[in-house]
Chain A
Amino acid sequence: MKDLYAWSAIGIIVLASTTGDVLLSYSMKRVGDVGELWKRRGILAVIGRVLATPTFALGLMAMGVAFYSLLFGLSWGNLSLVVPASASLTFVANAVAARIFLRERVGRRRWIAALLVAGGVVLMAV
């Protein structure tokens, strides 16, 4: 039963942090290259443009949900299960979501990388 709780927490963490990453990435693509913007208009223009992007706040909220579900997950499951499982599944989920929602060209090269990193994160935690 405790396992079921831990795995549902992991599921929520993966879902929330993937949503957050996709929303933040989408917002920053809308803002455009912040280095260029900083050079032309100054740092205040950069901060203003980022905060004025509605999806940025949504992304931050999703990241907050992910953080608190991690805290709950840690109280239900082991550190050595919850952290590596959610981190590695998030890498794979992000590759899928970036392809679908951000229309990134996730080629063979990036699939292999996502799987290698996901596997590596699991091994580092064993």
Chain B
Amino acid sequence: MTFRKYLVLAGITVFSTAGDSLLARGMKDLGGFSLHNLSGLLLAILNPWVALGILFLLTFFACYMSALSWADLTYVLPATSLAYVLVALIGHFRLHEEISPTRWAGIALIAAGVGFVAAGPSFTPARECPNSPSAPRDTVSLEVKS
């Protein structure tokens, strides 16, 4: 794991959070949609918040695909869950929203889960690939495998 790879993982969290918030902000301007108003859904792209939100979500998808090209799915997924934590923390510190004890417990559980995975190896190739980076040894998973 290099610094660049950690940046990509951070990009997954930041861009999905920002994209979702921008979309939500834009949709609030536009009001509700129904099946009878499909043209409105297409015109939604003209709203600058929605357009920026879509751009950020596309960036998120590019980061996600990049991460999946060099790391396990079970390594990358917990990183995506950090977005929930980021949304809650932004709401708390920027918008002064109250966070209930249950939500703090949820934040702690997600953070603990991410920590558990991050401490282990990022890539566990099924077969020996000649060009794969030598996977760091993880005694726990080796023990379970055998």
Contacts and interface: CB of A to CB of B under 8 A. Distances in A.
Interface of A: 21-22, 24-25, 28-29, 31-35, 50, 91, 94-95, 98-99, 102-110, 112-117, 119-126
B110 A120 contact: yes
Contact of A107 (B5, B77, B112, B120): B120
Contacts, number: 143
Given A107-B138, A112-B113, A124 B106 contact: yes
A119 B117 CA distance: 15
Given A98-B72, A119-B109, A109 B120 contact: yes
B65 interface: yes
Interface residues of B, number: 45
Interface of A is mostly: helix
Given A109-B140, A123-B106, A117 B78 contact: yes
B120 A116 contact: no
A28 B69 contact: yes
Contacts of B114: 113, 117
